Structure 1
Amino acid sequence: MVFMSMKDLEPEYFSIHGIRYHIRIVNGFTNNSSLPLVIWCSSQDGDIGGRALQEGDDFSWDTGVSFWTSAPAFSCTMKWDGTRKKFQAFQVDRDRSRCGLSRKCFWLVKEDGFYISYDEYNWVKDFSWS
């Protein structure tokens, strides 16, 4: 059984076009002040952009999931110290339950890998750099 709070019914989460999700990727490195984490993200609709993230910086965006069309998937390429990793930052079929009722998908990128959370407190390592 799924319980929803009143916050889950607020207009910012729903629209006449579907459900909104918020995706946020944070540089969680502990000592890379001289070497940024570079990120570039896109969907099948095109590039959404990117930037160089210093410690604690983030890159985020919102997306709507339509009731009538296929949901967008977003992939991001991360580059750090000559290492490059491409991953699916958001895919509605996979992340519908992982992002929780708040529909917020948080990624924390650290030296040992990529962590996901729905609340920015409980982190689960999803995969490593290699």
Structure 2
Amino acid sequence: MNNPKIILYVLFVISLTINLTWIIFLLVKPETMSLGEEYDVRVINNFRDNSSLPLVIWCTSPQGDLGGRALQEGDDFGWTAKIDIWSLRTEYTCTMKWNLKRKRFEAFKGSRDSDRCGSTKKCSWSVREDGFYFSSDEVYWTKDFSWL
């Protein structure tokens, strides 16, 4: 291995392998394309009449607890989600409780939401009696899932 040409060739192959690995990683993990970007996440209590029974929400992030609140009609709970280069886990999970119903869901997931939150980078959830609705503009809502 004293031949300088062989040493250069080995270094070239190692360098090429590292670069190709990063390219493949970026293609397989689309959320890494927007590392460091921030998204506004908001969960809104849109029940019609639950003045006597609040919607209880408790959320966690990759860094730890975001805390919780009891939301009355029209109240919201929000935070900024960040796709971090050091922690590729981008799941922000919330547990919702209303009356006898309980639901745990991913309020923000980088691989799912980095595109659908749009150029505004707003990811809003409207929680209603019949389920959970998503919107990137808080005008048009799409039902993502039910309580069950």
Alignment TM-score > 0.5, same fold: yes
The answer to whether the aligner puts 1:29 opposite 2:36 as a matched pair is: no
Which stretch shifts more, 63-72 or 41-50?
63-72
Computed over aligned residues only, the root mean square deviation of the Cα atoms, in angstroms, reads 1.3
Distance 1:69 1:111 in 2: 35
Computing the radius of gyration from Cα coordinates, the structure with the larger value is 2
Larger strand share, 1 or 2:
1
TM-score (norm 1): 0.83
Following TM superposition, by how much is the alpha carbon of 1:71 offset from its aligned partner in structure 2, in angstroms? 4.2
SS at 1:18 equivalent:
coil
The equivalent of 1:55 in structure 2 is: 73
Following TM superposition, by how much is the alpha carbon of 1:124 offset from its aligned partner in structure 2, in angstroms? 0.1
The equivalent of 2:17 in structure 1 is: none
Q: Aligned AA for 2:139?
A: Y
Distance 2:57 2:100 in 1: 13
After TM superposition, the runs of 4+ consecutive aligned structure 1 residues lying more than 2 A away are 66-69
TM-score (norm 2): 0.73
Runs of 5+ consecutive residues of structure 2 not aligned to the other structure: 1-34
Q: Aligned AA for 2:43?
A: I
**Cα distance per residue 1:35-65 (max 9 Å; x no partner):** 0000000023211001000000000001221
Number of residue pairs aligned between Structure 1 and Structure 2: 114
Following TM superposition, by how much is the alpha carbon of 1:67 offset from its aligned partner in structure 2, in angstroms? 4.2
Following TM superposition, by how much is the alpha carbon of 1:66 offset from its aligned partner in structure 2, in angstroms? 2.7
Larger helix share, 1 or 2:
2
The equivalent of 2:114 in structure 1 is: 96
Please give the residue correspondences for 1:119-130 in structure 2 after superposition, counting only pairs within 5 Å: 119-130=137-148
User: Is contact 2:81-2:108 (8 Å) kept?
Assistant: no
Identical aligned pairs, as a percentage?
Answer: 56
